[in-house]
Structure 1
Amino acid sequence: MSAGDPQPPEPIPGARLLFSLDPAVAHLNHGSFGSVPIGVQRAQQRLRDETEANPMRFFTQGLVDRIVHTRRHLATFLGADPDGTALIGNATTGAAIVLQSLRLRPGDEIVCTDHGYGAVRLAVERECRRTGAVLRVLPVPLRATDDEIVEIVRTGLRPGRTRLLIVDQITSPTARLLPVREITTAARVHEVPVLIDAAHAPGMLPVDIDAIGADFWVGNLHKWAYAPRGTAVLAVTPAWRQRIEPLVVSWEQESGFPLRVEWQATLDYTAWLAAPVGLYTLRTLGVDRVRAHNAALAAYGQRVVGEALGLQPADLPDPGGPAVAMRLVPLPAGLATTLADATALRLRVAEKLATEVAINAWGGRGWLRLSGQVYNRADEYDRLARRLPALLTELA
């Protein structure tokens, strides 16, 4: 072990007790669905109790004002204009709203990279089938530098034809931080609108949406900002706000954006209203402290699991920034090379090793993705490192 090898951080005292996770399982995949702290769960339950005590009063007396107040709180945390930010269910919903608001026509094209989230790509493909537009995917090498990524995207745009560029702030299948601000600047030169899929950014990274300058930005708060699931935001620049249409029209349609997107009749709004308690929890633990802890723990996990699989440090992909709390470990050749095989292997690891991880197929290879969170401990990654090689050998 060299002096530069990632080491586990000191645990944050009491942090593990904030969650109701099954202690018999190592939960090393916070990035997929997050985990809601107990205090946030209770806050949401109190809101549910309030709803059921008098549904008429809850929905008709002050709910819109409460949504607006919550939105302002969350938007401020993210560096966004509250009047241009809508609360939504998740980042994929936000992408669908943007896509159907573009009013694409035959011959238009949407450009994304091959690191994009699968459900967003499915939404793009559906919109293309409906409108006659086309999707073009730009291959980006996993180890490309920021400058190389910007150049790949810049040269991949077709002014006058490209109607939207979609790029991830942190990629889901490859856990890579992309230079979204520089990409947005390059796209703006060609007058190409940009949608940033920042599903993993809120809470994990310091975010200043206005400074990024993208036309559209979507991000989940139920992953790394401790909000209840179903809490996300769609931020839109002024030029586009009046063109944004909800997927379902309801009673605030004439109010314009963002209320026309937020108000969905009898939607369960308790997740949104409880979300500030998640930010309170994050701030109580110390935002910078949590971010540093999680990133260091993910880096440690990548190292020990990689070593157990016989990999050298050069074999382990860099996430593109020190603050990323997810890391990749390449799996042996021939394993998990398809979505179905990746899913099967993930379930096998969960069953045999009592460990939840993410496994993705990307670029013809299987990849293990590890997350770090305040409820994790170094020994959970050590235990996975000891037991995973034998399981993979058995499957191979």
Structure 2
Amino acid sequence: MEETQAATPLLGAAIRHEWALDWNYLTVNHGSFGATPKVVLAAQDEWRRQLEAQPSRFMRRILPDALRDAAARLGRFVGAEGTDLAFVENATVGCNAVLRSLRLAPGDEIVVLTHVYGAVRNTVRYVTERAGARMVEVAIPFPRPDSDAIVANLASALTSCTRIAVLDHITSSSALVLPIARMIEACHAAGVPTLVDGAHGPGQVTLDVTALGVDWYVGNCHKWLMAPKGCAFLYARPDRREDLHPVTISHGYGKGFLAEFDWTGTWDPSAYLAVTAAIDFHHRLGGAALRARNAALAAEGAALVAGRLGTETGSGNELAGAMGLVRLPLTGAATAERALALRGHMLDANTDVPLHVQEGAVWLRLSAQAYNEVGDYEKLAGIVADVLATHG
């Protein structure tokens, strides 16, 4: 697995010039869409220049090897062979490819977590409803999650009818870094294959998909690895590829995993090819040291905001990563509509933070990336306090 030995450089405001972000806007929501550095955008532009210089030559002569070279480099970063990886636009597309390739029968079950990402939940609904199968949800204790309880709840939900378990590596709504290795082990002990939605994994946590033993893993590169938008991967273990097909069937149908996924029709491949520049940038900022720094900053930021609001943080234990949770001190009903309205008011105040309803409360999710520093969360606390005073 590729890892940097470089020392962590000055971060926070000292390196904000590396991004094209508008710094009049408080950016503390890296987790939703990422933020691509200028040097990575420049690499993407160079690939686009080569493409447009002679599209036919590029697509036929340059792209096939360039795509596989990029996959090989990404594979080293996530602990896999390049031939184990196919590029996809985002983690949702990768999950769709796996789930819609399943041959379900009436009575079959797909296990998901209660904190499953909404788009993936809908995909599971789609494939189960069409087949007469059903979705089974595993409870995640919250706001004080416990690894042992999570694994036990998962194991107890697996039956002879379970065809696959869809597991989040890092939950979107609650920012939990789940004990994914133990969860995969529990599923395999019951003879159940696993699809891990690692949308927030690459670049936020150390990743070795081969060591995990997972059947399928999907990960976004445009979030925490900071590749261009629309860059993700699907890892498929060699024995789990025979019936796996992309969402779009094209000329490679029936010719194998890479033939099917590497070409699904004309598209701009520059985001995929620029992933190597994103990996270089991640290493330049410290790699593992950066990831540890971001996790510590997220915890500090969440504690600061919670203290200012007189409330509590969530998941402040070994399941915490580079995103933090703060419960909003609201009275009255905690509804999705109310959360959406409050988020709109925060957008009006020049910041954005996801607000999710969990266990009868509205929780704010903040992120910490290389360009953030403690002062950002002091500003966030002030904005949230003002919004709640006016609209809460």
TM-score range normalised by the length of the shorter chain: over 0.9
Tell me, in whole angstroms, the C-alpha distance in 1 between the residues paired with 2:210 and 2:332: 42
Q: Hey, what's the Cα distance between the residues in 1 that align with 2:273 and 2:379?
A: 38
Q: CA deviation at 1:319?
A: 4.6
Aligned to 2:390: 394
CA contact (8 A) 1:335 1:365 kept: no
Name the SS of the counterpart of 1:172 in structure 2. coil
Provide the rounded CA distance (Å) in 1 between the counterparts of 2:68 and 2:126: 32
Q: Deviations over 1:259-306 (max 9, x none)?
A: 312312202111000111001011111102311221122112101110
In the other structure, the counterpart of 1:350 is 347
Match of residue 337, structure 2, among 340, 360, 374: 340
SS of 1:297 mapped into structure 2: helix
Does 46-55 or 113-122 show the bigger shift? 46-55
TM-score where L is the length of structure 1: 0.92
The CA distance in 1 between the partners of 2:317 and 2:351, in whole Å, is 26
Match of 1:316 in 2: 313
Q: Which runs of 5+ in 1 are unaligned?
A: 1-8
Tell me which residue corresponds to 1:3. Answer: none
SS at 1:247 equivalent: coil
The letter for the 1-side match of 2:66 is: R
In structure 2, the residue matched to 1:76 is 76
SS of aligned partner of 1:304: helix
Contact 1:178/1:320, CA 8 A, preserved across alignment: no
Alignment of 1:217-296 (within 5 A): 217-296=217-296
Distance change >3 Å, CA 176–CA 113, structure 1 → 2: same
**Residues 321 and 10 of structure 1: is their aligned pair in 2 closer, same or farther, counting only changes over 3 Å?**
farther
Gaps of at least 5 residues in structure 2 are 1-8
| Contact 2:13–2:373 (8 Å) recurs in 1 | no
67-76 or 51-60: bigger deviation? 51-60
Question: Which 4+ stretches in 1 moved above 6 angstroms?
Answer: none
CA contact (8 A) 1:336 1:367 kept: no
Q: Give aligned-pair identity as a percent.
A: 38
Aligned Cα root-mean-square deviation (Å): 1.8
**Deviation string for 1:137-164 (max 9, x for gaps)?**
12221223111110000001112x0111
SS of 1:25's equivalent? coil
Shift of 1:387: 3.4
Letter in 2 for 1:47: W
Matched, 1:157 2:154: no
CA contact 1:359–1:367 (8 Å) conserved in 2: yes
Q: Report the CA distance shift for 1:12/1:252 in structure 2 as closer, same or farther (over 3 A).
A: same
1:145 corresponds to = 146
Give the letter aligned to residue 382 of structure 1.
Answer: E
Instruction: Report which stretch shifted further, 64-73 or 355-364.
Output: 355-364
C-alpha distance in structure 2 between counterparts of 1:322 and 1:145, whole Å: 8
3-state SS, counterpart of residue 252 of structure 1: coil
Instruction: With the length of structure 2 as denominator, give the TM-score of the two structures.
Output: 0.93
Residues in 2 aligned to 1:191 and 1:271: alpha-carbon distance in whole angstroms: 37
Task: Please state how far the C-alpha of 1:22 moved relative to its aligned partner.
Answer: 0.4
Residue in structure 1 matched with residue 325 of structure 2 by the alignment: 328
For the residue of structure 2 that corresponds to 1:93, the secondary structure is helix
CA change 1:295–1:212 in 2 (3 A) is same
Counterpart AA for 1:114: T
Task: Tell me the secondary structure at the aligned position of residue 206 of structure 1.
Answer: coil
